[in-house]
Amino acid sequence: MLHQRIVDVHAYVTVDTNRYSVPAHWIGKGVQVREGRCEIVITRGRQCLTHLRYPEPAGKWITLPEHRPERRRKKASDPPKELAILLRRAPELASYVKALGKRCKRSLGFALRQMLRMLDDYPRQSVIDAVTDAEHYGLYDIDRLETMVLQRIDQDFFPLENIGDDDD
Protein backbone atom coordinates (compact mmCIF):
# COMPACT_ATOMS: atom_id res chain seq x y z
CA MET A 1 0.00 0.00 0.00
CA LEU A 2 1.12 3.54 -0.73
CA HIS A 3 0.43 6.42 1.74
CA GLN A 4 1.15 10.13 1.81
CA ARG A 5 2.00 11.40 5.32
CA ILE A 6 3.25 14.53 7.05
CA VAL A 7 6.03 13.97 9.61
CA ASP A 8 4.77 14.91 13.10
CA VAL A 9 6.54 17.14 15.61
CA HIS A 10 8.22 14.14 17.23
CA ALA A 11 9.79 13.09 13.87
CA TYR A 12 7.55 10.05 13.38
CA VAL A 13 5.24 8.86 10.62
CA THR A 14 2.08 6.97 11.60
CA VAL A 15 0.98 3.82 9.79
CA ASP A 16 -1.80 1.66 11.32
CA THR A 17 -1.40 3.35 14.76
CA ASN A 18 2.30 2.43 14.84
CA ARG A 19 4.82 5.26 14.60
CA TYR A 20 8.04 4.95 12.65
CA SER A 21 10.97 7.33 13.16
CA VAL A 22 12.45 9.59 10.51
CA PRO A 23 15.27 12.18 10.66
CA ALA A 24 14.38 15.23 12.74
CA HIS A 25 14.93 17.65 9.84
CA TRP A 26 11.92 16.04 8.10
CA ILE A 27 9.49 17.40 10.71
CA GLY A 28 6.51 19.02 9.00
CA LYS A 29 7.50 17.72 5.56
CA GLY A 30 5.50 15.42 3.35
CA VAL A 31 6.74 11.87 2.83
CA GLN A 32 5.66 8.85 0.85
CA VAL A 33 5.19 5.62 2.80
CA ARG A 34 5.18 2.22 1.10
CA GLU A 35 3.74 -0.42 3.34
CA GLY A 36 4.93 -3.90 2.47
CA ARG A 37 4.39 -7.23 4.13
CA CYS A 38 7.65 -7.13 6.13
CA GLU A 39 8.86 -3.55 5.89
CA ILE A 40 7.88 0.09 5.77
CA VAL A 41 9.80 2.21 3.26
CA ILE A 42 9.65 5.97 3.84
CA THR A 43 10.89 8.27 1.08
CA ARG A 44 11.31 12.01 0.77
CA GLY A 45 12.71 13.11 -2.55
CA ARG A 46 15.78 10.95 -3.16
CA GLN A 47 16.18 10.02 0.48
CA CYS A 48 14.87 6.64 1.55
CA LEU A 49 14.82 4.69 4.80
CA THR A 50 13.46 1.31 5.76
CA HIS A 51 11.85 0.04 8.96
CA LEU A 52 10.86 -3.52 9.77
CA ARG A 53 7.08 -3.52 9.80
CA TYR A 54 5.36 -4.17 13.10
CA PRO A 55 2.81 -6.84 12.16
CA GLU A 56 -0.32 -5.42 13.75
CA PRO A 57 -1.66 -2.02 14.82
CA ALA A 58 -0.52 -1.77 18.43
CA GLY A 59 0.36 1.89 19.00
CA LYS A 60 4.11 1.13 19.07
CA TRP A 61 6.85 3.71 18.60
CA ILE A 62 9.57 2.17 16.43
CA THR A 63 12.81 4.13 16.40
CA LEU A 64 15.93 3.49 14.38
CA PRO A 65 19.17 3.97 16.34
CA GLU A 66 20.31 6.82 14.07
CA HIS A 67 17.10 8.72 14.83
CA ARG A 68 17.56 8.73 18.60
CA PRO A 69 18.37 12.16 19.95
CA GLU A 70 21.85 12.57 21.35
CA ARG A 71 22.04 12.35 25.09
CA ARG A 72 23.06 15.67 26.47
CA ARG A 73 25.84 15.26 28.90
CA LYS A 74 25.83 17.53 31.86
CA LYS A 75 28.60 20.04 31.42
CA ALA A 76 30.83 21.01 34.26
CA SER A 77 28.94 24.12 35.12
CA ASP A 78 30.50 27.37 36.10
CA PRO A 79 29.94 28.43 39.68
CA PRO A 80 26.87 30.61 40.16
CA LYS A 81 27.50 34.35 39.80
CA GLU A 82 26.12 34.83 43.31
CA LEU A 83 29.11 32.93 44.69
CA ALA A 84 31.59 35.61 43.63
CA ILE A 85 29.33 38.38 44.96
CA LEU A 86 28.85 36.66 48.32
CA LEU A 87 32.55 35.92 48.76
CA ARG A 88 33.44 39.50 47.84
CA ARG A 89 30.99 40.89 50.41
CA ALA A 90 31.70 38.35 53.17
CA PRO A 91 34.93 36.38 52.58
CA GLU A 92 34.68 34.83 56.06
CA LEU A 93 31.76 32.70 54.81
CA ALA A 94 33.91 30.83 52.26
CA SER A 95 34.21 27.55 54.16
CA TYR A 96 30.47 27.45 54.91
CA VAL A 97 29.60 28.17 51.27
CA LYS A 98 31.96 25.42 50.09
CA ALA A 99 30.28 22.90 52.40
CA LEU A 100 26.86 24.26 51.48
CA GLY A 101 27.55 23.46 47.82
CA LYS A 102 28.04 19.80 48.72
CA ARG A 103 25.15 19.47 51.16
CA CYS A 104 22.34 21.86 50.27
CA LYS A 105 19.01 20.31 49.28
CA ARG A 106 18.02 23.13 46.95
CA SER A 107 20.11 24.55 44.15
CA LEU A 108 23.29 26.30 45.23
CA GLY A 109 22.34 29.47 43.35
CA PHE A 110 19.07 29.73 45.28
CA ALA A 111 20.85 29.21 48.61
CA LEU A 112 23.44 31.86 47.76
CA ARG A 113 20.73 34.35 46.79
CA GLN A 114 19.05 33.72 50.14
CA MET A 115 22.34 34.35 51.96
CA LEU A 116 22.89 37.57 50.01
CA ARG A 117 19.38 38.68 50.95
CA MET A 118 20.13 37.98 54.61
CA LEU A 119 23.30 40.06 54.40
CA ASP A 120 21.22 42.91 52.97
CA ASP A 121 18.29 42.62 55.39
CA TYR A 122 19.93 41.76 58.72
CA PRO A 123 22.93 43.08 60.64
CA ARG A 124 26.12 41.69 59.14
CA GLN A 125 27.61 40.45 62.42
CA SER A 126 24.43 38.54 63.33
CA VAL A 127 24.49 36.75 59.98
CA ILE A 128 28.20 35.89 60.30
CA ASP A 129 27.74 34.61 63.86
CA ALA A 130 24.77 32.48 62.82
CA VAL A 131 26.74 31.05 59.88
CA THR A 132 29.66 30.24 62.18
CA ASP A 133 27.36 28.38 64.58
CA ALA A 134 25.55 26.61 61.73
CA GLU A 135 28.85 25.42 60.30
CA HIS A 136 29.99 24.23 63.72
CA TYR A 137 26.82 22.13 64.14
CA GLY A 138 26.65 21.00 60.48
CA LEU A 139 23.43 22.87 59.63
CA TYR A 140 23.10 23.61 55.93
CA ASP A 141 19.41 24.40 55.66
CA ILE A 142 19.05 28.05 54.64
CA ASP A 143 15.64 28.43 56.30
CA ARG A 144 17.11 27.18 59.59
CA LEU A 145 20.04 29.56 59.16
CA GLU A 146 17.65 32.49 58.76
CA THR A 147 15.81 31.42 61.92
CA MET A 148 19.14 31.46 63.76
CA VAL A 149 19.82 34.99 62.50
CA LEU A 150 16.38 36.16 63.61
CA GLN A 151 16.88 34.65 67.05
CA ARG A 152 20.10 36.64 67.40
CA ILE A 153 18.49 39.97 66.54
CA ASP A 154 15.10 39.57 68.20
CA GLN A 155 15.98 41.53 71.36
CA ASP A 156 18.01 44.18 69.53
CA PHE A 157 15.32 45.16 67.05
CA PHE A 158 12.14 43.94 68.72
CA PRO A 159 12.37 44.81 72.44
CA LEU A 160 9.53 43.27 74.44
CA GLU A 161 9.91 45.08 77.78
CA ASN A 162 7.78 48.13 76.80
CA ILE A 163 4.85 46.35 75.18
CA GLY A 164 1.58 47.65 76.56
CA ASP A 165 3.05 50.85 78.06
CA ASP A 166 1.24 53.36 75.85
CA ASP A 167 0.63 55.80 78.74
CA ASP A 168 3.56 58.05 77.78
Q: Are residues 60 and 113 in the same domain?
A: no
Residue 159 resides in a domain? no
Q: List for the chain the helix, strand, coil content (%; round to 5).
A: 45, 20, 40
Q: Are residues 88 and 140 in the same domain?
A: yes
Number of domains in the chain: 2
pLDDT higher than threshold 90 for residue 101: no
The reported pTM is: 0.51
pLDDT value of position 130:
94
Residue 106 resides in a domain? yes
**Is residue 68 helix, strand or coil?**
coil
The number of angstroms, rounded, from the C-alpha of 157 to the middle of its chain's C-alpha atoms is 39
| Bridge partners of residue 39, in order along the sequence | 52
CB 115 within 8 A of CB 88: no
Q: Are residues 59 and 88 in the same domain?
A: no
Q: Are residues 36 and 60 in the same domain?
A: yes
Find the radius of gyration of the CA atoms of the chain. Answer: 31
More confident residue, 168 or 123: 123
Question: Which among 68-77, 83-92, 154-163 has the top mean pLDDT?
Answer: 83-92
Full domain range(s) for residue 44: 2-65
CB 154 within 8 A of CB 161: no
Residue 26 resides in a domain? yes
Helical ranges in 18-93 per DSSP H:
81-89
